[in-house]
Amino acid sequence: MNELDRRISIAPMMDYTDRHCRYFLRLLSPDTLLYTEMLTSAALVRGDGARLLSYDQAEHPVALQLGGSDPKELALAARMGEQAGYDEINLNCGCPSDRVQSGRFGACLMGEPALVAECVSAMRAVVKVPVTVKCRIGIEPMPRAADEFEFLKQFIATVASAGCDVFVVHARKAILKGLSPKENREIPPLKYDVAVALRVEFPNLTFVLNGGIRTVEEVQRHLQTFHGVMIGREAYQNPYLLAQLQQAVFDPGWNLPTREQVIEQYADYVRSRLAEGHRLRSMVKHVQGLYAGLPRVRSWRRFISEGAGRPDAGANLLTEALRIVQAA
């Protein structure tokens, strides 16, 4: 069940890792495992599942992340995901937002390990692709007085007993009251040592580390301990990192594409999607970090952001924007 190469993956990020973003990131790395934004099981089962699950075949390998806590509904959604061709189904047990908690899914589920195990078991019963879980190293407040690491071990052990053998661990606690999702990505301290302790405690499970990882050197260091590393906001703010990781981790002989080559390829994709009725702004916003740290990046971003609103704007906006950075 662990045939996917998990050494590098991109975190599921709401409002970011939509199908257009994933296609763009794929141009930078052929082998990185991509994740969808979290899709709720209710939205898939009761809504327009075909539209929500649509993607480009070039995105493979790509995993579907689900949010929910109803085992039967999650099973239906997981089966829809497998039928749509996704390579993995991942259950969100890490998102701390109030909206997610009100729906009884996300990080608050860490307080109900038996329910998570039931959900995992229900999904595994109807799909053949891997069913995995993304979680935190803990939640606050905890539902009962307990040693923090014992709480985490119990969660992992309970869910693993249902057949889940892959855990993506964000090495921060989720503060369920008083912090926004953005603050929850920054304020709770990173505790990689807790994730390392899990790796030691459960040597037969697969652990992917997530949280605060920004450089090739950090990735290579963590890969000495973990089966994989998941990159979050850094992959969006500085996507060329993925090309560097492709060469450093997957294929030392791989020739890095130039940023200009990536934009020209993505412009072809944008042109095709515009013909299908997709909005230009929803596609070009994902490329704004491509020249991060290089001269005239602010002018690049502004040109794309302002140009996307022009009534006559099309895919050529991207190739026109190249003149700004090329002039530098």
Q: Are residue 133 and residue 279 in the same domain, yes or no?
A: no
Verify that 24 and 51 share a domain, yes or no: yes
> Closest Cα partner for 83 from 135, 141, 29, 129?
129
Q: Quick one: pLDDT at residue 178?
A: 83
Q: Which domain holds residue 199?
A: 8-250
Tell whether 104 and 149 lie within a shared domain. yes
> Quick check: is 3 in a domain?
no
Best CA proximity match to 29, nearest among 53, 61, 74: 61
Catalytic site residues? 95
Q: Does residue 2 lie in a domain region?
A: no
* Within-domain flag for 273: yes
Q: What is the pLDDT of residue 147?
A: 87
Q: How confident is the model at residue 328, as a pLDDT?
A: 67
Between CA 66 and CA 131 the distance in angstroms is 10
Q: Does residue 1 form part of some domain? A: no
> Tokens at residue 214, please?
């920004």
Answer yes or no: do 162 and 302 share one domain. no
Whether 265 and 223 share a structural domain: no
Beta strands (DSSP E) in the chain are 8-10, 34-40, 62-67, 88-93, 131-140, 166-175, 206-210, 228-231
Distance CA 148, CA 157 (A): 14
Output the average pLDDT for the chain: 94
| 160 and 224 co-located in one domain | yes
Final residue belonging to a domain, choices 195, 217, 250: 250
pTM above 0.85? yes
d(CA 86, CA 53): 9
Cβ contacts of residue 289 below 8 Å, gap of 6+? Answer: 236, 237, 238, 239
* Res 100: pLDDT: 58
Query: What is the domain count for the chain?
Result: 2
Residue 57 covered by a domain: yes
Tens of pLDDT along the chain (328 residues)?
Answer: 448 999 999 999 999 999 999 999 999 999 999 999 999 999 999 999 999 999 999 999 999 999 999 999 999 999 999 999 999 999 999 988 766 555 678 899 999 999 999 999 999 999 999 999 999 999 998 776 568 999 999 999 999 999 999 999 999 999 988 888 888 888 889 999 999 999 999 999 999 999 999 999 999 999 999 999 999 999 999 999 999 999 999 999 999 999 999 999 999 999 999 999 999 999 999 999 999 999 999 999 999 999 999 999 999 999 999 999 987 6
Same domain for 240 and 314: no
| pLDDT (tens digit per residue) in 100-136 | 555 678 899 999 999 999 999 999 999 999 999 999 9
Query: Looking at the domain assignment, is residue 226 inside a domain?
Result: yes
Instruction: Give the distance, in angstroms, between the CA of residue 12 and the centroid of all CA atoms in the same chain.
Output: 2
Q: What is the DSSP letter of 211?
A: S
Q: 63 and 12, same structural domain? A: yes
pLDDT at position 173 is: 94
Question: Residue 299: which CATH number?
Answer: 1.20.120.1460
Domain contains 140:
yes
Query: Annotated binding residues, as ranges?
Result: 12-14, 65, 134, 170, 210-212, 232-233
Tell which of 218, 250, 282 closes a domain: 250
Q: Are residues 234 and 273 in the same domain?
A: no
Q: Can you give the CATH number for the domain in which 170 is found? A: 3.20.20.70
- For position 2, what pLDDT does the model report? 47
- Residue 290 counted as domain residue: yes
State whether 291 and 310 are in the same domain. yes
The pLDDT assigned to 1 comes to 44
Contacts of 129 (CB under 8 A, 6+ apart): 82, 86, 87, 88, 89
Instruction: In whole angstroms, give the CA distance from residue 300 to residue 287.
Output: 10
Q: Which of 197, 224, 250 is the last residue of a domain?
A: 250
- Tell me, yes or no, whether 128 and 237 share the same domain: yes
Residue 148 shares a structural domain with residue 289: no
Which pair of structure tokens corresponds to residue 264? 């020209």
Q: What is d(CA 141, CA 214) in angstroms, rounded to the nearest whole number? A: 29
